[in-house]
A and B are shown apart, each in its own frame.
Chain A
Amino acid sequence: MNAPYHSTFTPSQSDPETLEDLFVAREKLAQRILDGIQESAASANKHQRLLIGPRGIGKTHLVALLHHRVRRDAELDKRLRIAWLPEDPYIAGYHNLLLLILQTLQQTYALESLRQRLEDVLDLEDANQAEPLLERLLVEFVGDKTLLLIVENLDDLLANLKETGQRKLRAFLQNHPMTTLLATATSLSEAVADRKNTFHGFFKIHSLDPFTVEDAVRLLTRMAQRAGSDDLANALCSPMGRARIRAVHYLAGGNPRIYVVFYDFLTRESLDDLVRPFMKLIDELTPYYQARMDRLAPLQRGIIDIMRRLRGAVTIKEIARQAMNTSQTISAQLGKLKDLGYVTQAAALGRSNYYELREPLMRFCLEVKEQRGRTVELFVQFLRVWYSETELARLALDGVISLEQTHLREAMQRAQSERDPVCSMLKTEFQTHQDAGDHQAALEAAELAIQRDANDKESWTYKVQCLEALGHDLEERLACWQRVAEIDPKDAIAWAWQDIILSQLGRFEGALTASVKALELDPDDPILNSNYAWNLKQLGRYAEAQAYFDKALELEGEPKTAPEWIQRGNDLWSADRPEEALHAYRKALELSPRAVDGWRYLWDLLEEQGRYRLFHRMAEQVTALLPEEPRLWFYCGIANRCLGQFEAALAAYDRALTINHDLVWRRESASLSLLHPMTLSLPGRHAAALEALEVPESSPVPASENVRFRHALAHADTLMWLDRWEEGCAELNDTLDHFAPDLWTGESLDIITKLIAGTQNPAIWRRFIAVWLELFARHERLTQLGQGLVWRIRSLTLPWISDSVARTWYDIWRELAGDLEEMALPLRLLKAGVDYKATRDPQVLLALAQEERRLLEPWLINLFREEPDEIDREMENLLHVVKQRLMQAADAELMPRAATTNAADPPAADA
């Protein structure tokens, strides 16, 4: 279907319907101007409007549209006489202008009598006599109507009139207030901009802004719809369509004319037809730009030429260097060129201002002169932008030597050696969205970049950053890192991340393989060594693990900052050197008391070591010192929970959530979303716990598999406590079936603590334990159950668990599991724990084999320790130092204000 004609270069020749259909972005402005014309026609108020904008920005389209709307309004049209002057008329002086206006009126309104009167004036021998006569004629023929005078390229017109003609024109307009002017210009000429000059302050100036990408999409979509190309319209609105238009936006500089020209390319089937329209565009614009250049002073022309050659934004200093002139001179000329609309300031970096040519079209047109049969830069750039490297290669396969192929080859060469401009642009967008916290939009930009070039590694890393921020699952993130490693097998970070994610998924063999690859690529990276050691340890290869832990520590060197000390602590802890780890964390916190990660790891270690009271004491004091930090409240909740102070634990969790709901949600591995409901059950609030577990946010995404397991377990267990026994058992069965054994250990079995803490009723204990033994055995998880039983010996410290209760606990377990081989060791250790609780006699532990004893030391002893030891003293000292540091920091903040206040105090009487 043929679209109605729309002239790219002469919108005035387009039919009104086309003008309306293709008018985007400026409706408000059009209405404002139309309102002004209406008021001018209906009253003695006369509005004078000047539209400013570079060539192709849409000035003529707007003017043509307004002309059409005015003529369409019969009432308004009747009150006007419209003289739309030709775009580049011959005007040597004021009388030429008057003549032209009258001739235009004569033609528009077919006024034969006027034609004859004009002929009489032209017959005058003395041309100077014509002016007053022409003025009179114009006044006469406009009569009681209003003259709507439409003048394009007003800057050229005023320049041709010179000052004398300008003043005469202005005087005429003032003396005969019958005219409303609608004028356009590419820039503010001196006649309008300079205060001393005639038309300064005369016009209401409207600068036409370049199109945004959305405006361009709208325009091109409408063009496609008008042409009946719905497929094309949809493609333009698609994410990739928008991305391409965005890239073209750079070339177009927001110039609507360029988009219209580019539209023609979208509809062409082959490259064969592409060059000609480009050349036509260049051919038509070149004389115009050349004429504009000719109007400049030689140095100004030289500056423009330098900027064209250098292509990108340049500093004054560089231009001065190329021009072999002073920066002061160049700066002054650039100011003038900026006022005239030739250049624009692109950026200011530090003390340097960067300038570039305002109109990319101008640069291309001026370049054509130099190209002379070589490639047209604009066209090559278009090809680079529009087609990906793959698509260019495919197009090039149809090899026929022609001008088009020359451009295609050039574009392909550039594609291989230069960055893909669309990808670059999308990555910039990604960064912008990322900085603004809009991770979804950032993800879309990253995915478009991948769509454009699936082998661009950076785009994949951007994508995975977004997936993490948006909480997408671990498998998806793993896939991205695997792709990065496929593209670049030498990317150690990609392998390292695979290692981390696989660990979280409980796939330790895979994690080990990934960490081996990472280490091979960077054997001297301490973190990679540490990760590798960790994986070895997970797989029971302790001796090897130790060697790599030692290597990691050696490679790290002496830590200097708090984060480095924290990392050192983590590595020492992984290397089973907990006391040294504690020292490292202490050093970190002395350097930076507000390093929350430091507190986290320190307290995790103290918890593991069974130092519950110390953990609790420290958490209480630190939250008092830093009450604004939500994560500290979270840990304080854990500390309270360890000591059986469940209400206090819940209060602390609530406090953390009050301060920052979102922060706590995402960051904690054993997240608050799980601990909160689990803690609710401990004082027996099972219904509330179930409700909390069933809130969507309580199932954190992405959780590690371990956390998911614990969540499922807690849910099943809570159902059982609520006497939805069958349902709960079925869920427990499914949970044990679903989650692989590798990703959870007995440590995850909070249900054991809940049983001993929640009731001292042996009948209930029996009921639960019996089911557990049955289901864990069914799924071959008795080893883990045993591990959990041993880990939960810690529950024996709860204040209400007396020695006899502890004894009963052991007895029931022994009764039900005594004949199970897998439970033999755990039962022995449980007995030792119960005996130690009752006697506090180290001999109890000595009765165990050495390797068995190691499983209980030192934490069992720490659990029941009454007297402070070296670690207690060290931690007290740490608290003291931290308090001092925080107080000093607070004082330092207050001091300037105190100094100012003191300055206002009157001197002492005896000073």
Chain B
Amino acid sequence: MKANPGGAVSPENVMGRDRLIERLWAALEHQSLVLVAERRMGKTCIIKKMEAQPPDGTMIRVRDVGGVSSPIEFVERVAEDVEKHLKLFQKTATKTKEFLASLSGAQILGVKLPTIAAPHWKALLERILGDLAQHSDRPVILCWDELPWMLQKMTARPEGETVVMDLLDTLRGLRQTHTNLRMIYTGSIGLHHVVTALREEGYVNSPVNDMRTVEVPPLDDGHAEALAKALIQGEGLTSGTLDKTAAIIARRVDAIPFYIHHVVAAMADRGQAATPEIAETIVAEALANAQDWDLEHFRSRLSSYYGERAEVVRALLDQLAETEPLNLDELHERLKINLSRLGASAQRMIEGDREALRTLLKLMQRDHYLCQDRDGGYRFRFGLIRRWWRLDQGFA
């Protein structure tokens, strides 16, 4: 297996995810899922592996809906998948065809629905998925990758927020109506950002509260090292210290698969032997050129994620970059000591109730900046990010 950062990884080459996938299958027996993770964790690889290797009799269809920009287009994609599945079972989408016929007498041509059907996307969706559920005695799983992206695109259209709210509610309704229907939402941006934006437009529902949220973590150390080793060997790099090099790579990039691929690819590009020293050098260079590994994004997105509170978030990250772990009290104390360096809004927040700070820390955990240990101490979720933050802030 060659290092392939960003590329498509064959399902049989996806390493270290078997246990997680088992958990996901188990959960899907009972409910739908929202897969969350920081970018680069390998969500797409996981769902592709699930699609390629489902348990016997389970139907799962994974589709990237990032290219979809309207509800009718979404319905078309769903229809395509349903059609494929139903053909498999020699069934037909009876309800769907009847509905279409009632609209115009038009037949479905390929998978492009007639224009006249566009306003009736909701009804179509209900009928399509109804057909699907009806003809399946086992759970049918539809996995939509980049769903949040699609929803964001839709909200950009006129009255888009209303449409998106409707879509999410419709899907929720379908899950509740058809108990054998399962959905998996996943994507590069968190769905909560889309929902938060909708709430500001008056949306009060909870479109995913029936779904279980599962975080995709980095690999465990053993699998991360195994991945690094496999890639080094796949690239044909000489290494007299293979185990040690693999361990260093895994450790330095927090066992995140994308970066493991990156490091080994960089080694192969240089054509050098794979040694711990070279691995360290590559990681150090990547930290210094944050753009290569997309690390700058962790800083640049703060404003869009946290708005006015971004300044406090930065201050918290600075404190933890210097010293970690720190509990809430310690963080609060340190921020107060450095209060004069912050703007008025940040000062108000810090001087006020500690609860605002606690809430913010929770959000930061959710957005994978931080994690909390058993003693309540907060630290950077990823050592890699912390190292970069320190370097960038000049702490190193």
Contact = CB atoms under 8 A, between A and B. Distances in A.
- Are A and B bound to each other? yes
Interface of A: 28-29, 32, 35-36, 39, 43-48, 94, 126, 128-129, 131-133, 136, 164, 167-175, 177, 180, 193, 195, 198, 200-204, 206
Interface in B1-49: 1-2, 4-13, 39-40, 44, 48
A129 B72 CA distance: 13
Given A132-B110, A195-B294, A204 B44 contact: no
Contacts of B64: 170-171, 174-175
- Across the A-B interface, the 4 shortest Cβ-Cβ residue pairs: A44-B10, A171-B67, A168-B67, A174-B64
Interface in B264-294: 265, 268-269, 271, 291, 294
B76 interface: yes
Contacts of B12: 44
B131 interface: no
Nearest to A36: B2
Nearest to B81: A175
Contacts of B268: 32
B24 to A, nearest CB: 19
B66 A167 contact: yes
Interface stretch (B122-130, B145-153, B346-354): B145-153
Given A132-B111, A172-B67, A201 B6 contact: yes
A45 B67 contact: no
A206 B269 CA distance: 9
Contacts of B68: 167, 171
Contacts of A168: 67
11 contacts: A39-B1, A39-B4, A44-B11, A45-B9, A47-B7, A167-B67, A171-B146, A180-B7, A195-B297, A201-B5, A201-B39
Contacts of A195: 294, 297, 300-301
B112 interface: yes
B377 to A, nearest CB: 28
Contact of A45 (B13, B110, B145): B13
Contacts of A172: 67
A683 to B, nearest CB: 54
Nearest to B298: A195
B340 interface: no
Contact of A175 (B40, B63, B76, B110): B63
B8 A44 contact: yes
A127 to B, nearest CB: 11
Given A28-B271, A44-B10, A195-B294, A36 B4 contact: yes
A174 B65 CA distance: 10
Contacts of B62: 175
Interface of B: 1-2, 4-13, 39-40, 44, 48, 52, 62-69, 76, 80, 109-112, 115, 145-146, 149, 153, 258, 265, 268-269, 271, 291, 294, 297, 300-301
Given A32-B269, A35-B2, A167-B153, A45 B112 contact: no
A193 B258 CA distance: 17
A100 to B, nearest CB: 18
B66 A45 contact: no
Chain A binding site: helix, strand, loop or mixed by DSSP? Answer: helix
Contacts of A202: 6
Nearest to A194: B297
Given A32-B269, A126-B115, A174-B64, 9 more contacts: A43-B13, A48-B8, A132-B112, A170-B67, A171-B146, A177-B48, A193-B291, A202-B6, A203-B6
A198 to B, nearest CB: 7
A200 B4 contact: no
A99 to B, nearest CB: 16
Nearest to B44: A174
B82 to A, nearest CB: 14
Contacts of A180: 7
Contacts of B109: 129
B1 A128 contact: no
Contact of B4 (A175, A201, A204): A204
A204 B5 contact: yes
Contacts of A169: 67
A123 to B, nearest CB: 13
Nearest to A169: B67
A170 B297 CA distance: 21
A202 B268 CA distance: 19
Given A129-B109, A174-B44, A204-B265, A48 B7 contact: yes
A458 B2 CA distance: 55
Contact of A47 (B4, B48, B112): B4
Given A126-B115, A171-B146, A201-B39, A132 B80 contact: yes
Nearest to A164: B69
A132 B76 contact: yes
A201 to B, nearest CB: 5
A164 B145 CA distance: 16
Given A167-B67, A201-B40, A204-B7, A47 B297 contact: no
A610 to B, nearest CB: 62
Contacts of A203: 6
A128 B294 CA distance: 36
A198 B66 contact: yes
Contacts of B5: 201, 204
B269 A45 contact: no
Q: Which of B4, B9, B76 has the most CB of A within 10 A?
A: B4
B253 to A, nearest CB: 15
A77 to B, nearest CB: 20
A45 B4 contact: yes
B110 A171 contact: no
Contacts of B65: 171
A43 B9 CA distance: 9
Contacts of A201: 5-6, 39-40, 258, 294
Contacts of A193: 291
B8 A177 contact: yes
Contacts of B265: 204
A39 B268 CA distance: 15
Contacts of B110: 129, 132-133, 136
A48 B66 contact: no
A132 B7 CA distance: 24
Nearest to A35: B2
A199 to B, nearest CB: 9
Nearest to A170: B66
A172 B67 CA distance: 8
Contacts of B153: 164, 167
A204 B64 CA distance: 21
A46 B2 contact: no
Contacts of B10: 43-45
B346 to A, nearest CB: 25
A439 B38 CA distance: 55
Nearest to B68: A171
A39 B2 contact: yes
